[in-house]
Amino acid sequence: MIMQRFAGKVVVVTGAAQGIGRGVALRAAAEGGRVVFVDRADFVAEVAAEAQGADTAGFVADLETYDGAKAAMDFAVQRFRGIDILINGVGGAIRMRPYAEFEPAQIDAEIRRSLMPTLYTCHAVLPHLLERGGGTIVNVSSNATRGIRRVPYSAAKGGVNAITQSLAMEYAEHNIRVVATAPGGTDAPPRRIPRNAAGDSEQEKTWMSEAVQQVTESTFLKRYGTIDEQVAPILFLASDEASYITGSVLPVAGGDTG
């Protein structure tokens, strides 16, 4: 029997068109949530419709802009009359390179992709959670806060951890919990939306394989996780089962703590 931990709740999931975000959004819908699937990909409404029999909606927004983040939260409130839970899935390393090989514009792009969407959506959702009398934010960070070939991404996810801890401290008195998971390497089907739209050079593929090797060897279990193994802890933290957990970043990385 499927649990119904999100019955009566409005859940907004960002980065819901594929990967971990898609898995989270579909399972939250299967567990009774009214779910808004937010993504930059124009096919996100089709993904939302995969949740047959559930009350879901897709919304296209570029969350690297504040206007996009605000529009997504406003849409959710208009459609479902409020927000209870925000799950921030948008992110992901665009390029893998030794730090000296990053061009300045590439450093900026990593921060825009993996820090700014969470910073913006956390701000844009707060008025709605305050109006509701509380709520929960789950950020998807990464164990790559310690890792090779992606220092700008590491910095972005370190920022996500800082948002999680400081926002949790500041808004606890308003009944708002803020938590995060830090996934390790996660196996996924080939991406419909590539991380790097320009494609990876042969040299970048080599640097990526070095990062994959480091990530795998840093785990106790000596393997990547699955999307389901990431979805489960994210939704545990989002649910009322985790009501006494806030400000925490949970490593979900086979023993690697990042």
Provide the minimum distance between the beta carbon of 237 and ligand NAD in the complex, in angstroms, as a whole number: 14
Rounded distance between C-alpha atoms, residue 194 and residue 76, angstroms: 27
Q: Which of 66, 99, 120, 153 is the catalytic position?
A: 153
DSSP structure class, residue 90:
-
Q: Pick out residues in 57-76 that bind ligand NAD (CB under 6 A).
A: 61-64
- Binding-site member from 10, 13, 17, 86 for ligand NAD (CB under 6 A): 17
Q: Is 191 a residue that touches ligand NAD (CB under 6 A)?
A: yes
| Residue range at the interface with ligand NAD (CB under 6 A); choices 18-26, 124-132, 171-179, 198-206 | 18-26
- Binding-site member from 136, 154, 164, 186 for ligand NAD (CB under 6 A): 186
DSSP 110-144: HHHHHTHHHHHHHHHHHHHHHHHT-EEEEEE--GG
Dihedral over alpha carbons 213, 165, 250, 97 (to 10 degrees): -10
Strands 10-14 and 135-140: unpaired
- Give the angle subtended at the CA of 92 by the CAs of 136 and 126, to the nearest 5°: 25
Q: Is 142 a residue that touches ligand NAD (CB under 6 A)?
A: yes
Q: Pick out residues in 197-256 that bind ligand NAD (CB under 6 A).
A: none
The phi and psi torsions of 183 (rounded to 5 degrees) equal: -65, 150
Q: Is 124 a residue that touches ligand NAD (CB under 6 A)?
A: no
User: Which residues are catalytic, by number?
Assistant: 153
Q: Which residues bind ligand NAD (CB under 6 A)?
A: 15, 17-21, 39-41, 61-64, 89-92, 113-114, 117, 140, 142, 183, 185-186, 188, 191, 193, 195
